[in-house]
A = this chain, B = another copy of it.
Amino acid sequence: MDNDIVPVALEKAYRLLNLGATSIVSAEFGGESDAMPAAWTCPLSMEPFRAAAVVDGPHFTRRLIDESGMFALQLPTAGIARATLALGSVSKNDDPAKLEKSGAHFFFADGFRLPLVEGCAGWMIFKVVPGEERNAKAHDLIIGECVAAWADARVFANGHWQFEEAPPSLRTLHYVAGQHFYAIGEAVNLD
């Protein structure tokens, strides 16, 4: 793992999602892996840190989540906006070489088999919470409990986002539609 990537304490990891940035969801099962953008995510609780992500049933990634019981959410930055879109523009059901062609680069955290996307601002690995089959079926809502989290220390440290001193390419992406995002902007501090 990159020197800038540092662990995030699980009790502070929900703050990675507070910002409302677009995420990439990734998963692995039986030697197959996939990753796709998911703009629709939501923290559910802080301790334990649980979160929900909408991953539609037909997606290749969804099958890997359902079969492995694990998924990762990671927060792509402006620097990898094009690869992020590429991961959403084709299904691995249609192109088995999707990941290789996307321009995204992957790495692995010790003890986990899920591919993680390089160049993100934060990474979270979740174990699917049992007993939530109805949410998966009715809403395509996958609920997980975070078991490990990391961040790029240049933009997230001591449980807080801090983009001011970092390169603009490390700013999180917030999805509009089509091929359009906004990067996160100026701090609004009221204390």
Contact = CB atoms under 8 A, between A and B. Distances in A.
Given A174-B174, A191-B178, A39 B18 contact: yes
Contacts of A178: 191
A163 interface: yes
Interface string A149-185: 0000000000111010000100101111111111111
A44 B135 CA distance: 11
Given A39-B20, A139-B44, A184 B185 contact: yes
Given A18-B39, A173-B188, A177-B15, A163 B139 contact: no
B139 A45 contact: yes
Given A78-B188, A179-B190, A182-B187, 15 more contacts: A18-B39, A18-B174, A18-B177, A19-B175, A20-B175, A40-B44, A42-B52, A82-B190, A134-B134, A174-B174, A180-B188, A181-B189, A181-B190, A182-B184, A184-B185
